[in-house]
Amino acid sequence: MNEKTWLNNEEGSVLILALIMLVLLTLIGISATTTSTLETKIAGNERVYKRNLYSAEAAAMECAQTMEHTNLKNPRPAWLGLIGTVNEPDDIRLSSFWDTSPDPVPQASVIPNTRFVATSQGLAKGIKGTSLDMTKSNVHAYAVYGRCQPANSGPTIVEIGYRKAF
């Protein structure tokens, strides 16, 4: 009979239920805090990535604009490389390409932490002038590179194509 009274005794069951609920709510709170912290870090990294990407793209576009307003024949600008300067795609990723002063010399941009360089790819194949061009000039193709490397992250490099008739 003693066992039956012990099983029917419900004193303290509310306390145990409250402790279980408190533990569950604590785990949910910790999980939510961890998730929001992680999401904040992801958003910050994405913001830095986009800023670097747009800065590198702006440097490449600045180079293209500079090329548009510069005589590329004589004298040849120092930042405009010779044909075949960038042999492999990995060449442009090397710090030595940007940080030393080989020919071509990477040009410092007006945008902070960016540089640009352009390499000639020769005559654009299959294109001789335009239908409105009476002088039959040749169209030259260029690869234009912009790089952004802030102090707190790795480099971001953008390549765009550029063509100019002369």
Q: Cβ contacts of residue 95 below 8 Å, gap of 6+?
A: 155
Structural domains counted in the chain = 1
d(CA 69, CA 60): 15
Which H or E run contains 151? none
**pLDDT grade for 105, boundaries at 50, 70 and 90:** low
- Mean pLDDT of the residues in the chain: 79
Per-residue pLDDT, averaged over 48-66, amounts to 91
Pairing of strands 114-123, 107-108: antiparallel
pLDDT of res. 55: 92
Q: Is 77 exposed, middle or buried (0-12, 13-18, 19+ CB in 10 A)?
A: middle
Per-residue pLDDT, averaged over 135-145, amounts to 78
pLDDT of res. 127: 57
pLDDT tens for 20-40 read 999 999 999 999 999 999 999
26 sits in the region (left: phi over 0; alpha: psi -120 to 50; else beta) called alpha
**pLDDT grade for 2, boundaries at 50, 70 and 90:** low
pTM of the model: 0.69
Task: Supply the range of the domain harboring residue 115.
Answer: 2-165
Nearest of 67, 100, 104 to residue 84 by alpha carbon? 104
pLDDT of res. 101: 44
Residue 17 pLDDT more than 80?
Answer: yes
Per-residue CA distances from 129 to 70, 133, 164 (Å):
19, 6, 10
